Amino acid sequence: MWRELIERHTSQARFASPATKQALYRAEETLGHLLPDDLAELLGETDGVVDGNGYNLVFSAEQLVQGNVEMRTYPALKRLYMSFDQLLFFSDVPRDGNLFAYALVPEGRPDIFVWDHRTDNRRRVAPSLEHFIEAWLTDDIRL
């Protein structure tokens, strides 16, 4: 489903081999929470997606874990910004430094937010991963 959605908008995306169930389980164990269902499904089809310009549309499971652990534990970030414990970063803004994330609270909401590294603002940009992907690939994402 996810590959087909992406391929409807671009033929230039690069897909990885599917993430294993073990890799997804390890990600959840390391992060201390479940992955959102739609993100887990996407990673089960392709362990990350790179768009036609070479940017991460969706991080791989390994990138997801590494980036979120760093954002949640790096001392300098903890001094500069509000806690990232309630966010799950899964994509970045090309050449910008901002990140896209799920808000983990309230649980079960599929909303996608953009985090602005300059202001620490966290703003909703899409009601779901599907809408986020379509907006990214059609240059309709509102930053």
Domain boundaries, the chain: 2-138
* C-beta neighbour count of 99 within 10 angstroms: 22
Superfamily, domain 2-138: SMI1/KNR4-like (3.40.1580.10)
Q: Which residues contact 32 (CB under 8 A, 6 or more apart)?
A: none
In angstroms, the CA 71 to CA 41 distance is: 24
Give the pLDDT of residue 116: 95
Positions of the chain with pLDDT lower than 70, given as ranges: none
Q: Centre a 10 Å sphere on the Cβ of residue 88 and count the other Cβ atoms it contains.
A: 23
Burial of 122 (0-12, 13-18, 19+ CB in 10 A): middle
Q: How high is the pLDDT of residue 120?
A: 96
Question: What is the structure's pLDDT at 82?
Answer: 95
Provide the pLDDT for residue 44. Answer: 97
Residue in the structure block whose two tokens are 């036609």: 52
Whether this prediction's pTM lies above 0.85 is answered by yes
Q: Is 103 helix (H, G, I), strand (E, B) or coil?
A: strand
